[in-house]
Amino acid sequence: MKEEGGPCTDLRSGVCFARAGSRARSRTRMRPSVAAGVMFACLFAGPLRAQSSTDLDFLTGLPDFTRIRSMLPDYLNHIAMALLEERRRAVGQWSSADDVRRRKAYLRERMVRALGGFPERTPLNARTVGVLERDGYKIEKIVFESQPRFYVTANLYLPTAGQPPFPGVLFPLGHERVEQSIPSVQ
């Protein structure tokens, strides 16, 4: 088998020889300079090595930095423990329900401010898009708008027996795969 216009004359054997008079080199032979370079690298690779991480650690041997990896976590834990101790002392001084109400109002105000405030109230435009009947309860599939054109889906599990009003439980499921279909969640 012959390659058209190429340097190979026998492709079946897997070896390609140059035609007589051609300047093309054999594909199976290595250039002498490359072979010498590979041999040189193999002979002298033993004593050569990359730098170790301790060679690159500019803090090695400096006594102020022996605990460098734990300094930030220790510092943050110290701050957290001090704040918890401050809170424990403040809670210990509360003596009335009015003190608890003031603390509740203070915390609520701080949290709302940290959130950037609440959005204005808008109509929910809730609608039921499906109902599944089960033994002792039904599941209503609902869609509502928490803000205009921001749709939220939900399932309402409603008892089919007993006297209303029924207690309600808000259980915000995450993005678990088929979570609401698991019997233990029902």
- Whether residue 118 contacts residue 101, with contact meaning beta carbons closer than 8 Å, is answered with no
Residues 80, 44 share a domain: no
Per-residue model confidence (pLDDT) at position 69: 83
Give me the number of domains the chain comprises: 3
Per-residue model confidence (pLDDT) at position 1: 45
Asked whether residue 40 is assigned to any structural domain, the reply reads yes
Residue 157 has pLDDT above 70, yes or no: yes
Closest CA to 154 of 169, 136, 166, 172: 172
Q: Taking the CB of residue 67, how many other CB atoms lie within 10 A of it?
A: 8
Per-residue model confidence (pLDDT) at position 3: 44
Asked whether residue 181 is assigned to any structural domain, the reply reads no
Average pLDDT, whole number, for the chain? 79
Residue 14 has pLDDT above 60, yes or no: no
Asked whether residue 179 is assigned to any structural domain, the reply reads no
Asked whether residue 168 is assigned to any structural domain, the reply reads no
Asked whether residue 90 is assigned to any structural domain, the reply reads yes
Name the DSSP letter for residue 98: H
Residue with tokens 């050569």: 48
Cα separation, 77 vs 83, in Å, equals 10
Asked whether residue 59 is assigned to any structural domain, the reply reads no
Q: Is the bond leading into 172 cis (omega within 30 degrees of zero)?
A: no
Closest CA to 17 of 30, 2, 27: 27
> Measuring CA to CA, how many Å separate 75 from each of 54, 59, 68, 70?
25, 20, 11, 8
84: containing domain:
68-115
| pLDDT tens, position by position, 130-151 | 999 999 999 999 999 999 999 9
Lowest mean pLDDT among 9-13, 34-38, 143-147, 162-166: 9-13
Closest CA to 19 of 40, 34, 37, 5: 5
Asked whether residue 135 is assigned to any structural domain, the reply reads yes
| pLDDT tens, position by position, 87-135 | 999 899 999 999 999 999 999 999 999 999 998 999 999 999 999 999 9
| pLDDT tens, position by position, 59-92 | 777 777 778 888 899 999 999 999 999 999 989 9
SS3 (DSSP) at 132 = strand
Residue 179 has pLDDT above 80, yes or no: no
Burial class (CB in 10 A: 0-12, 13-18, 19+), 62: exposed
Residues 4, 34 share a domain: yes
Residues 44, 3 share a domain: yes
Residue 49 has pLDDT above 90, yes or no: no
Output the CA angle 143-146-151, nearest 5 degrees.
Answer: 45
Asked whether residue 60 is assigned to any structural domain, the reply reads no
